[in-house]
Copies of this chain bind each other. A is one copy, B any other.
Amino acid sequence: MTENPSPPLWIYDTTLRDGTQREGLSVSIEDKLRIARRLDRLGVPFIEGGWPGANPKDVQFFWQLQEDPLKVAEIVAFCSTRRPNTNAADEPMLQAILAAGTRWVTIFGKSWDLHVTEGLKTSLAENLAMIRDTIEYLRANGRRVIYDAEHWFDGYKHNREYALQTLEAAATAGAEWLVLCDTNGGTLPHEISQIVQDVVKANREWVMGNGEWVMGKKQLPITNSQLPITNSQFPVPQIGIHTHNDSDTAVANALAAVMAGARMVQGTINGYGERCGNANLCSLIPNLQLKLGYSCIEENQLSKLTEASRFVSEVVNLAPDEHAPFVGRSAFAHKGGIHVSAVERNPLTYEHIQPEQIGNRRRIVISEQAGLSNVLAKARSFGIELDKQNPQARQILQRLKDLESEGYQFEAAEASFELLMREGLEKRPLFFEIKGWQVHCDLVEGKESTSALATVKVTVNDKDILEAAEGNGPVAALDAALRKALVNFYPQIGAFELTDYKVRILNGHTGTAAKTRVLVESRNSHQRWTTVGVSTNILEASYHAVVEGLEYGLLLHSQAEVALNASS
């Protein structure tokens, strides 16, 4: 971390374009807008929004942003160069990119001679003209241009001279950024380092007028941009980097490029992207800012990075990677008794950064490797003072291990663990008792869809209650019936609800004999909690998790009441 003003780096987010290429990911226009606005708040200067010429959904997306623009970030539209032997003005894709109405556009072109002759089936000279014409056309229409040099590193390795000519064509035409893309993802960090150094040097030489063109003499049409995107000291193209993770080195490649002189880094939130993904901005930004001293986003936004990561995964409906560096739920989780006490005493000797700096937190993990110290630490975090000598502590540990060997996993279901602990300490209040339940689903001949009916028998304060309810599925029906049965005794039950429902088949390879583990997340106005159920019967597992979710909600409510009475 330097004392001098941190050198600026421009982060370019392509979650909404390259990120959406990830197998299994698909987003609506509304999803894209939500993500764009969240990234705008995060403070990344460039957000690549999509490819309006190729994806009709993106046309809508850009149009919506014209009506209701982002506050800070530049939204960028993406496109290929014109096709061979066409005029840029006659190219429908380029009309589409202009119609998107963005101040900035990114054009990608071929850098590898083989792709030009075998892929595009045109001449090397025509490819250069395609790059040049496209960029000049867009600039003549008032756009600022970023040039993505596709398959840059492979192209350079096969024909350095031609590859540099493609950059020259882009620069001569007025591109402000020359982004070197490792499109196949096969380049290793030491190669990136060498090659980027060469390009940065060549770029500077051209700038000084020693090369084939002299940059910086052209007057760039500076449009009304709120960001000082181009540093006036460098009125010439700067170098950017765009990496993919096929060699498992995307982040390291981007760092190597920055240290070799690149000033723009392209990546995606959570590393989403085609095949093995793009460089993960959730790893890149903390590395660049906290370890290498670059200035990427505001510090108070960096501390919301974890939240931004989870928000995006939720919107695109992908399970968050719990083991992700920096922002993953396990990134600062300490397992195994040995160093738990050491960590609590002196975190920086066991953690490479302070989790709070990126909005994450340290966790002590409960597991079968848990020693007594873990159980005690956990109890303390629940507000339960438990003595090491207390035999109940060992009994709880044993019960924990027994349940875990049945398939329970409390790491992700801390509310269930707290209930287990309270039971061991005889401090688990009995709000209600389930006497029995039934659920019936059928698809009757001639009907379009199934219906589900559930009946539950519950005892509250020695009173037996029988209720029935319907639902769009068996779990919904059981939840509704149970709530119906309890609401007269516990009206507060309406203040919390089930918000997430995850199912994992534990030994799926045993087919329908598999055990199912169900995690249910519930929420009231200010808290969330997770409960778990395990059974070979998926409905029984679901029901167990739902029942404990309700019980925990009632427990929280009664604790809040006690606290309120105590303070009055």
Contacts and interface: CB of A to CB of B under 8 A. Distances in A.
Interface of A: 21-24, 26, 55, 112, 114-115, 118-119, 151, 154, 184-186, 188-190, 245-249, 251-253, 255-256, 259, 274-277, 280, 283-284, 287, 291-292, 314, 317, 322-326, 328, 330-333, 335-336, 339, 342, 345-346, 349-353, 365, 367-369, 404, 409, 411-412, 434-445, 449-450, 452, 457, 471-476, 479-480, 497-509, 511-514, 516, 521, 535-540, 543
Given A255-B249, A325-B276, A112 B539 contact: no
Given A186-B353, A443-B540, 11 more contacts: A21-B336, A23-B323, A24-B412, A119-B346, A189-B256, A247-B283, A276-B323, A437-B442, A438-B440, A450-B539, A501-B512
Contact of A503 (B342, B412, B505, B511): B505
Max chain B Cβ within 10 angstroms of own Cβ: one of A112, A255, A439, A508: A508
A2 B502 CA distance: 50
A352 B249 CA distance: 13
Given A336-B21, A440-B439, A119 B325 contact: no
Nearest to A473: B537
A24 B474 contact: no
B336 A539 contact: no
A23 B55 CA distance: 40
A511 B501 contact: yes
B275 A538 contact: no
B449 A443 contact: no
A37 to B, nearest CB: 18
A438 B441 contact: yes
Nearest to A345: B118
A333 B439 CA distance: 42
A498 B513 CA distance: 10
A506 B345 CA distance: 42
A440 B441 CA distance: 6
11 contacts: A23-B323, A23-B330, A119-B339, A188-B255, A189-B255, A276-B330, A438-B442, A439-B441, A473-B535, A473-B539, A503-B504
Contacts of A247: 251, 283, 287, 291, 325, 352
